[in-house]
Chains A and B, each alone.
Chain A
Amino acid sequence: MKVGATLGHVRMHKVEVGNVTRELPVVEVSPGVSVALFNMLGDTEVTEAAGRELAALLPADIDVLVTPEVKALSLAHVISRETGKPYIVIRKTEKPYMVEPVAREVISITTGKPQLLVLDGFDVPKVRGKKVAIVDDVVSSGGTLHSLRQIIEEVGGEVAAVVAVFTEGQERPEVTALGHLPLFS
């Protein structure tokens, strides 16, 4: 990524999340392909706005929220707080305290490297037989989404909704999102 070359004249992409507006920097992630970087970590205002909007859009029959660490953590927390529905975090590394963890590998679009997704066996009973909503910040290639689905279905949960702040690249009718980010070339 040619960050240094674009400093000082970074192309920006304007987005609206609820009543909040942000200018996202557009950066090249692979030759000829640039994305608008959306990072909710440390943005309390955007997280609150998105969490409240998505909470209002969440189907009433959802039992539990599932989110991958790290960037959507606070979003899942806010949706959980607003709806009273519990949330479960899928980790990216296996922790020594996990009980019979369920793991899947996914190729990350941002890093190009294989990424592990791990559900603590301790959380399996909270997913089995339940209607699950997957919560993420941006759904792009859908790789993470696919692996999350596999893990949830493997332990007997049903993915009944996918909610995200943005979809990116292709339109995804199965995702309830507040907006769409284009790919830039």
Chain B
Amino acid sequence: MTLTEQTSLSVTVGGVTRSLPTVRVGSVGRVPLVEFLGDSEFTNAAAEALLPLIPEGTEVLLTVVTNAVPLVHEISDRSGVPYVVARKKRRTYMQSPLIQDVPSMTMGVAETLWLDGPYADRLRGKRVTVVQDVIASGGTAQALGRFVERSGGTLAGYLAAFKQGESTLPLTYLQELPKSL
């Protein structure tokens, strides 16, 4: 891929406008990519806009590495609601982690999520909202939802900055993005 092949899609969140690059994915066409990493201004704008959409009674936010981490940190700091992060690889220091498979649409191969035991403990008996930057098929979100149930928490809802696909999950989001251009 070369830079000149990229066309773009413009999105505005809370007064901050970004031109999203697109990449060609197989036969799907050009897929617009949201990038919060490296963009604190866009991250802050999205976090502020998402605050009123956090399901009522939420006590903990749950997300997964990597792209949503600064966004969820910022939501947490502004709302005062703590957050927990699931990993995509086992880490050596994990204690009794929960393991959950997710069917991945990106590669067509299964992906596995890991939730460290002490993090799972923080979900027990709590109302938990799953937060992601983008929810597409919803497979990862559902796997995170399973972590909430398996930890003994209650799923309060799914929250995303962007919806990009045909997920049937009950989802709260800021904007919908086209799957391809």
Contact in complex: B43, A110 (CB < 8 Å): no
**CA A74 to CA B43, docked complex, whole Å:** 11
CB–CB B37/A97 < 8 A: no
With a cutoff of 8 Å between Cβ atoms, the chain B residues found around residue A166 in the complex are none
Q: Is there an interface contact between A77 and B1, defined as CB atoms closer than 8 Å? A: no
Q: Which residues of chain B are within 8 angstroms of A31 by Cβ–Cβ distance?
A: none
Q: CA separation between A39 and B44, bound complex, in Å?
A: 23
Residues in B neighbouring A78, C-beta threshold 8 A: 73
B131 at the interface (CB under 8 A from A): no
CA distance A86 to B42 in the complex (A): 12
Q: Please indicate which of the listed interface residues A27, A47, A88, A89 has the most CB atoms of chain B within 10 Å of its own CB.
A: A89
Contacts of A1 in B (CB 8 A): 92-93
How long is the Cα–Cα vector from A27 to B93 in the complex, in angstroms?
Answer: 8
State the CA gap A39–B77 with chains docked (Å).
17
**Interface membership of A60, Cβ < 8 A:** no
Give the docked Cα–Cα distance between A158 and B156 (Å): 47
| CB closest chain-B residue, reference A69 | B66
Known: A42-B83, A87-B40. A47 touches B73 (CB 8 A): yes
In the complex, what residue of chain B is closest to A70 when comparing beta carbons? B65
State the CA gap A77–B82 with chains docked (Å): 17
Give the dominant DSSP class at A's interface: mixed
Nearest-neighbour CB distance to chain A for B156, whole angstroms, equals: 17
CA distance A37 to B95 in the complex (A): 12
Q: Which of A42, A76, A99 contacts B82 (CB 8 A)?
A: A42
8 Å CB contact of B37 from A27, A29, A73, A81:
A73
Residues of the B chain whose Cβ atoms lie less than 8 Å from the Cβ of A29: 92-93
Contacts of A80 in B (CB 8 A): 40
Per-residue contact bits, chain B 71-113, to A (CB 8 Å; 1 contact, 0 not): 0011011000011110100011101000000000000000000
Contacts of B119 on A, CB cut-off 8 Å?
42
Contact B85 A42 (CB under 8 A): yes
A64 to chain B, nearest CB (A): 10
The reply on B69 being an interface residue by CB < 8 A is yes
Contacts of A96 in B (CB 8 A): 23, 25
A73 near B66: Cβ-Cβ < 8 Å: yes
Specify which of A44, A86, A87 is in contact with B83 (CB 8 Å cutoff): A44
Provide the bound-state CA to CA distance between A39 and B43, in Å. Answer: 22
CB-defined A-B contacts under 8 Å, sample of 20: A1-B92, A42-B84, A44-B77, A48-B77, A69-B66, A73-B66, A73-B70, A73-B73, A77-B70, A77-B73, A77-B74, A80-B40, A81-B44, A81-B74, A87-B38, A89-B38, A97-B33, A99-B2, A99-B3, A110-B93
Besides the known contacts A69-B37, A78-B73, A88-B38, 13 further A-B residue pairs in the complex with CB atoms under 8 A apart: A1-B93, A3-B95, A39-B93, A44-B76, A47-B77, A48-B77, A77-B70, A80-B40, A86-B38, A97-B33, A99-B1, A99-B2, A122-B3
User: Could you tell me which A residues sit within 8 Å of B by CB distance?
Assistant: 1, 3, 7, 27, 29, 37, 39, 41-42, 44, 47-48, 69-70, 73-74, 76-78, 80-81, 86-89, 91, 96-97, 99, 110-111, 122-123
